[in-house]
Amino acid sequence: MGRGGRGVRAVSDSSIEITFMYRGVRCRERITLKPTATNLKKAELHKAAIEHAISIGTFDYSVTFPRSPRAAKFAPETSRETLSGFLIRWLNAKEQHVASSTFDGYRKLVTLRLIPALGDTMLVDLKRKAVRDWLNTLEVSNKTLRNIQSCLRSALNDAAEEELLELNPLAGWTYSRKAGPPKEDDIDPFSPDEQQKILAVLSGQARNMIQFALWTGLRTSELVALNWGDIDWQREEVMVRRAMTQASKGKAETTKTAAGRRRVKLLRPALEALNAQKAHTFQANAEVFQNPRTMKRWTGDGPIRKTMWMPAMTKSDVRYRRPYQTRHTFASMMLSAGEHPMWVAKQMGHTDWTMIARVYGRWMPSADTEAGSKAERLWHIEVGPP
């Protein structure tokens, strides 16, 4: 670096370069001075004065280096933006370009997590260490930690695109714990007896929808977006193409992933539920399942949970779990019966079966004493003694 690593070096016969850190950015600026021993010492003193001004908060880049391209980047109006102010602007811009459910997730993370914890920090002063130290205080799962970081990393990428930051401090870095705290209501399927108890206290459309959910594994958002036109009666399949969340405010959106758009085989209990449901909504040729109180399409999982699911769970005397457990119940039933994990993955809208094996592996039958006998009988060729 020159001058024994002091951040000063000769770069030409007529100029000296000084190097210093400002707002997390390594800055190099040239001074028009012949690099004599005396002038190099002057440059060191100039660098020391700059660093002192930075430390007490009086340094003005545009005054010290008015011709520098960095001067505009470090202008006071740019430097004064807090992370809170930027994140609010970022959210407003994102709303028009992402799905409602994605935006709602961003909004909750920004307003409930990021702004309360880091909002007062100047955008240009945000450091990875500050983010790591804060994340380390949170008693949440690793999945939640990843969601928080994904949201903040995306916002900071856009800040770097706007040249508000030299670099995204979270680029190429992820914080996680070796073992996150257990997540409540994780994978907790209903037993056959519990399923019967729940269905027994339901009637009409409510019973049909829950029976259909248990035997298709559809997400709640996919159930409420389902139309009669999505049913292929000849092939006995349902085509899942849309989802409707609370955040979408009654507007159906395409599924988030290509794997989510899928054909789901209609097993006999699911077909029975659909045939029973015909008496309620088939003539309208629109939504399959309606809120019995309004006779209109459900608007999301919130009304289902509050007006139908929670009363049914109480009345059936079944230990409470959220409606999403109907999806986990489907997976556990299929795997326990020995259905192929790849088929189960396709039914549920996953890209491959590794996630199925990882999440639902305990319901997959283990090998027994007869394992391998089918292959032996099919492929083994008897060979006489040598």
What percent of the residues of the chain are helix, what percent strand, and what percent coil, each to the nearest 5? 50, 10, 40
Distance from C-alpha of 255 to C-alpha of 158, rounded to nearest angstrom? 25
Q: Is residue 262 in some structural domain? A: yes
Higher pLDDT, 223 or 252: 223
- Tell me the average pLDDT across 234-253: 74
Is the pLDDT at 383 greater than 80? The verdict is no
Q: Is residue 257 in some structural domain? A: yes
- In this structure, the answer to whether residues 60 and 132 fall within a common structural domain is no
The encoded tokens of residue 368 equal: 């027994």
Structural domain that includes position 223: 192-363
- In this structure, the answer to whether residues 247 and 321 fall within a common structural domain is yes
Is the pLDDT at 311 greater than 60? The verdict is yes
Among 3-12, 93-102, 168-177, 205-214, the range with the most confident prediction by mean pLDDT is 205-214
- In this structure, the answer to whether residues 201 and 309 fall within a common structural domain is yes
- In this structure, the answer to whether residues 94 and 68 fall within a common structural domain is no
- In this structure, the answer to whether residues 304 and 238 fall within a common structural domain is yes
Q: Is residue 184 in some structural domain? A: no
Q: Is 171:158 a contact under the CB 8 Å cutoff?
A: no
Q: Is residue 381 in some structural domain? A: no
Q: Is residue 177 in some structural domain? A: no
- Tell me the average pLDDT across 310-317: 95
Global pTM reads 0.55
* The total number of structural domains that make up the chain: 3
Is the pLDDT at 251 greater than 70? The verdict is no
CB environment 185-221: b (16+ within 10 A), e (fewer): eeeebbeeebbebbbebbeebbbbbbbbbbbbbbbbb
Residue 182 has a pLDDT of 45
pLDDT one-digit tens code per residue, 26-80: 899 999 999 999 999 999 999 999 999 888 878 888 888 888 888 777 765 555 6
- In this structure, the answer to whether residues 205 and 284 fall within a common structural domain is yes
Confidence of residue 2 (pLDDT cuts 50, 70, 90): very low
pLDDT one-digit tens code per residue, 356-377: 776 776 666 654 555 556 555 6
Percent of the chain scoring above 70 in pLDDT: 83
Q: Is residue 186 in some structural domain? A: no
pLDDT one-digit tens code per residue, 184-198: 447 889 999 999 999
- In this structure, the answer to whether residues 196 and 246 fall within a common structural domain is yes
Is the pLDDT at 268 greater than 90? The verdict is yes
Among 183-197, 254-268, 300-314, the range with the most confident prediction by mean pLDDT is 300-314
